[in-house]
Amino acid sequence: MSDQSSSAAARSLILGRIGDILGRRTVGAAEAHAAIPRDYTSAASLDREACLELLTDRLRHYQVDVHRCDAATLPRTIAAVVTGRGKGRMLVPADLDPAWLPSGMAFVRDDRLTFSDLDQSEGVLTGCSFAVASTGTIVLRHAAGEGRRALTLIPDYHVCVIFADQVVQTVPEAIRSLAAAGPRLVTTISGPSATADIEMTRVRGVHGPRTLDVILVSRAS
């Protein structure tokens, strides 16, 4: 095929897709949407432990420290993780389960703290809605125990608790979970915040926490 023919074919394809979106072609948008191949993986193929191992591998690839524990040792694990980072005073969502919190440590509940308070904090501890093992993505719907958007984006250090039964394997499972949960503000996290400038210099902490620790918890006590 000549360069001219290739260009014409590409232009026709692009214009055709725009026409589909605008509903101007003979084939309606619904029919075109139904014709899209969907042979991608849309359901879990791994058992529970393999799924957790996959999530752990993805998170560690993103330079996240992952800590495993059960529900009974969650407070002790939180204490070890936080003190191991040299932190002594952490923010938590106003509605975080108090049973998570170890005694003898300072936790400040977010009762609409100011941005300055958030910025000067040592870090934040939250839960999440679920996590996607195949991508290492943590999903926050800012529901109970997850905090508001500012609480999870402004502090430089974030400890996120994920329970084993909150982990799904695939992105389609995650999308279905979001749809079932109903509309709500969503933040997705794939490792600590990082960006790169035009010279490809990678800088951490620009759009969120510079450091992320994950505590992966079995529901068994």
User: Per residue in 51-67, pLDDT tens?
Assistant: 999 999 999 999 999 99
Q: Are residues 22 and 100 in the same domain?
A: no
Q: Please give the single-letter amino acid code of residue 26.
A: T
Does 56 share its domain with 119?
Answer: yes
Distance CA 191, CA 218 (A): 21
Range with the poorest average pLDDT among 10-14, 54-58, 217-221: 217-221
Residue 42 lies in a domain: no
How many angstroms separate the CA atoms of 174 and 213, rounded? Answer: 21
**Same domain for 29 and 80?**
no
Q: Which residues contact 69 (CB under 8 A, 6 or more apart)?
A: 76, 77, 215, 216, 217, 218
Domains held by the chain: number? 2
pLDDT digits (tens, 9 = 90+) for 175-214: 998 898 888 889 999 988 877 777 777 777 777 899 999 9
pLDDT at position 219 over 80: no
Q: In this structure, is residue 39 part of a structural domain?
A: no
Residue 25 has pLDDT above 80, yes or no: no
Alpha carbons 217 and 45: distance in angstroms, whole number: 21
Average pLDDT over residues 3-15: 76
Are 100 and 56 members of one domain?
yes
Q: How many residues does the chain have?
A: 221
Measured between its terminal Cα atoms, the distance across the chain in Å is 66
Residues 40-58, mean pLDDT to the nearest whole number: 88
Which of the pair, 139 or 37, is modelled with greater confidence?
A: 139
CB 146 within 8 A of CB 126: yes
Confidence of residue 75 (pLDDT cuts 50, 70, 90): very high
Phi then psi for residue 214, to 5 deg, are -115, 135
Residue type, 99: A
Angstrom distance (rounded) from CA 96 to CA 76: 16
Q: Is residue 40, in this structure, part of any structural domain at all? A: no
CA distance 176 to 108: 34
What does the pLDDT read at residue 196? 75
Q: Could you give the CA distance from residue 103 to residue 76 in angstroms, rounded to a whole number?
A: 9
- pLDDT at position 4 is 66
- How many angstroms separate the Cα of 22 from the Cα of each of 8, 12, 35, 195? 21, 15, 17, 35
pLDDT at res. 97 = 95
Residue 169 belongs to some domain of the structure:
yes
Confidence of residue 24 (pLDDT cuts 50, 70, 90): low
Asked if the structure places residue 43 within a domain, the reply is no
Centre a 10 Å sphere on the Cβ of residue 122 and count the other Cβ atoms it contains: 17
Domain span at residue 28 reads 3-34
pTM assigned to the model:
0.79
Tokens of 52: 């957790």
- How many CA atoms does the CB half-sphere of 213 hold within 13 Å? 20
Q: Sorting pLDDT into bands at 50, 70 and 90, what band is 221? A: very low
Assess whether 76 and 113 both reside in one domain: yes
- Within this chain, do residues 91 and 185 fall inside the same structural domain, yes or no? yes
Q: What is the pLDDT of residue 144?
A: 92
Residue 213 lies in a domain: yes
Same domain for 113 and 80: yes
Same structural domain, 30 and 52:
no
Q: Does any domain span residue 192?
A: yes
For residue 98, the model assigns a pLDDT of: 95
CATH number at residue 165: 3.40.50.10420
State how far the Cα of 184 lies from the Cα of 115, in Å rounded to an integer.
22
Residue 41 lies in a domain: no
